[in-house]
Amino acid sequence: MSTQSDIRAAVIGATGYTGAELLRLLHGHPRFSIGYVAGHSTAGEPIAQVLPSFLGILDGVVEPFDAEAIAERADVAFCALPHGASAPSVDALRQKGLVVFDLSADFRLADLDVYAEWYGEHGAPHRHPERVYGLVELNREAIASADLVAVPGCYPTAAILALAPILEAGLAKPAGIVIDAKSGVSGAGRKPSPKTHLPEAAEGIRAYKVGSHRHTPEIDQELGRAAGTPLKVLFTPHLVPMTRGILITAYADAAEGATVESLTAAARERYAGSPSVVVLDPGQAPDTLWIRGSNRVHLGYALDQRSGKVIAMGTVDNLVKGAAGQAIQAANVRFDLPEGMGLEQPAAWP
């Protein structure tokens, strides 16, 4: 699946869930080839031992992070490292001249003070100015020439895509937005923990990090941009007994002119041309199963007359459009490829 003119990609942090998805999507992409697979704790092990879905598909061994070696074998790097740890690695790769797509939170926030408030000290603040926020449908132009793309968080992707068009169009009011989010457990990452131990996560549901989830300032930032005024959302995540998928149900006060039709039309117009976003007809509620495993986003709008509130719903696969798929969609834009290249697959439904 590779030719001499392929764009060579490195996947850093390849053996977590997001890394696995990056490998899967790059492997199937007609114009990217995988030049380097880096992991930390798994360095030295065969890729297919760490990621058995690649048995018989990917040979090769996980290598340690080595910016020099990576620069020799790759033109672009996709970094799926933990927050805080990512910035220095991103910086090292940028110094070598690679285009970098960072899937951590380290470059998502425009304001370093806000980053400090929610995440702590930044690992490479000097690198920060060149960051570009990587939500493709809303930032294509900047991404097209970016060398450092901050791939958005999974929850923010769903929430921002659902709410931005109707805020931009002035159909929903920016104050008092509530985002009730539901996610599958893979969003927590590959590291085992009591909360994600199957007997304590399956067959039940619960909220977590109530009022304190780090995706909150990211959502504020982008929706504030869409609304043209600062705003603060109330964001509540919940852990759902399933592996993949995010559904957000957002509530906003309707503004003048908001009808189910105008809301739907605003989103359809905003996302015309996107190879990812589909806006459902009024009356249809998105279902994570319909986009699971794919780079699709389903959005749906309702208007509750009794309360005068807009209900905006959005589904993404947290590992695909919520992470790896978005990164590749952004890379398609950056490298002047058809935006949906390598991301056409529908969900494997049921």
- Determine, following the binding rule CB under 8 A, whether residue 202 of this chain makes contact with its own copies: yes
Q: Compute how many other C-beta atoms are within 10 angstroms of the C-beta atom of residue 212.
A: 10
Distances (CA, A) of 348 to 158, 280, 296: 20, 19, 12
* Residues in contact with 257: Cβ distance below 8 Å, sequence separation at least 6, in sequence order: 170, 171
Choice from 62, 135, 166, 240 touching its own copies (CB under 8 A)? 240
Q: How far is the CB of 331 from its own copies (least distance, A)?
A: 19
Give the residue from 136, 157, 160 showing the smallest Cα distance to 333.
136
Q: How far is the CB of 324 from its own copies (least distance, A)?
A: 10
Helix (H) or strand (E) segment spanning residue 301: strand 297-304
- Of 34-42, 117-125, 156-164, 312-320, the window that binds its own copies (rule: CB under 8 A) is 312-320
Helix (H) or strand (E) segment spanning residue 101: strand 99-102
Distances (CA, A) of 86 to 67, 82, 93, 167: 13, 6, 11, 32
List active site positions.
154
- Determine, following the binding rule CB under 8 A, whether residue 116 of this chain makes contact with its own copies: no
- Type of residue found at 39: G
Choice from 138, 169, 291, 331 touching its own copies (CB under 8 A)? 291
Using CB under 8 A as the binding rule, the residues of this chain from 21 to 60 that contact its own copies are 21, 24, 27-28, 51-57
The count of chain residues that interact with its own copies, using the rule CB under 8 A, is 90
| Structure tokens that stand for 222 in this block | 């982008």
Cβ proximity to its own copies, 120 vs 192, nearer residue: 192
Choice from 205, 229, 269, 273 touching its own copies (CB under 8 A)? 205
- Determine, following the binding rule CB under 8 A, whether residue 113 of this chain makes contact with its own copies: no
Radius of gyration of the chain (CA): 19
Q: Compute how many other C-beta atoms are within 10 angstroms of the C-beta atom of residue 36.
A: 21
Cβ proximity to its own copies, 313 vs 333, nearer residue: 313
> What is the pairing mode between strands 99-102 and 131-133?
unpaired
Q: How far is the CB of 209 from its own copies (least distance, A)?
A: 9
Q: How far is the CB of 143 from its own copies (least distance, A)?
A: 22
| Structure tokens that stand for 239 in this block | 């852990």
Using CB under 8 A as the binding rule, the residues of this chain from 166 to 185 that contact its own copies are 176, 178, 180, 182, 184-185
- What is the residue whose two structure tokens read 């997001």? 18
- Determine, following the binding rule CB under 8 A, whether residue 249 of this chain makes contact with its own copies: yes
Q: How far is the CB of 328 from its own copies (least distance, A)?
A: 14
Cβ proximity to its own copies, 221 vs 294, nearer residue: 294
Cβ proximity to its own copies, 116 vs 285, nearer residue: 285
Cβ proximity to its own copies, 140 vs 209, nearer residue: 209
Choice from 42, 104, 139, 294 touching its own copies (CB under 8 A)? 294
What backbone phi and psi angles, to 5 degrees, belong to 333?
Answer: -65, -45
- What is the residue whose two structure tokens read 């764009």? 7
Choice from 197, 272, 273, 338 touching its own copies (CB under 8 A)? 197
